[in-house]
Structure 1
Amino acid sequence: MNQNKRIEILSRLRAENPTPTTELEFNSPFELLVAVTLSAQATDVSVNKATRKLFSVANTPEAIYALGVDGLKEYIKTIGLYNSKANNVIKACKMLIDQHNGQVPQDRAALEALPGVGRKTANVVLNTAFGWPTIAVDTHIFRVSNRTKLAMGKDVVAVEEKLLKVVPAEFKVDVHHWLILHGRYTCVARKPKCGSCIIEDLCEYKDKVEI
């Protein structure tokens, strides 16, 4: 795909959604960190349902750590893998208290050192909470990037590196949200809604589905 076409795709996505953000509900970098950690292999809807109750009771590292693993499980037991997630969140809270004065660090290495936080989660926090031009590649973004040929790669890291290289600076902060929403609602996995897609004429996917 040539760069002019990439810019047109991104321009259309921006025109449709000028101020995109995550569908996870949060009011602080810490709440976002917890929500993203809980969202692994779970839907944003299920995470939001649990965190509304959790954050109304405890929304700081100190408060959640005080709940303990068993106390936290009671709030997140409707989310997949809640046992391991509860352990990771409690351990992460302890590290934030001991090493970062209870604050979420604006540093990739420090974020990735937290239990349950990998590259994708760190990218989401840096981008959404702090406005960094990072691009967290999940299954939706991986699919959309490869299917459209916007940025092709054999794995999520390769796609991330390609996106960082080809996406102009003016689009970098928001491209993660545009692509994930596009993959979630239009360029879906099994039967993409090509007929109602605003970038269909620019997309280089060979097996388009007309609906």
Structure 2
Amino acid sequence: MEALEQFLSGDEESQFSVTTAKLETLMQLLCDEVETERVLLRRNQAELTELEADTLKRSSERESFVSRMAQTINLRELLEEEAETKRQLDRILQELEILHKGSDTGSSEAAAEDILEKLEVNTDNAIASLTEKETHLLQQKEQLLKLMETTQKALAECKLKEQKAQEKLCEAVQGSSKCSQQREADRLLDTCIKEMGLLHILSNKKK
């Protein structure tokens, strides 16, 4: 390429006085340079295609994480169920207090025992239900925390890979720009050779 640049930078007299062998050498250098740039361009295009596919893959992974988060157990509903169970327990305790007050005022002892027994059963059931729901809630909370931690790590890795992909993409774009500039220089050289009639000289020489 340096020889081509020296040839182009010379004056017209030196350009017309160049030998046919020298011109053939310059033409071969030009062809080799063009082929090299074509190989580089194809490689850059392949890298761009790979980067685009990788970017789509990362985007799909992010969507998958969002979907998994949306499918986790709704903690708000569990908390509302727990609150409702507590309210039922409070009502049972209030009924117990009313029962004791009624006993103090001379209510039927048998009726009081029946009500008390019923309330005790309801209380035991409510406590058991509350305990079960609380255990289930804690398990779901632990699973959700683990899932969030895993998701955050995966998203961080995804972001890092995407950043590297963007850097490679920029490098590939810069390489493609360089190829375009080189092709423009080659085009100008070809135009110059045609204008000087050197291609015609070469053709006659080969004949």
- Do the two structures share a fold, i.e. TM-score over 0.5? no
> Whose radius of gyration is greater, 1 or 2?
2
Q: TM-score, normalised by structure 2?
A: 0.18
Q: TM-score, normalised by structure 1?
A: 0.18
Q: Indicate the structure with greater helix content.
A: 2
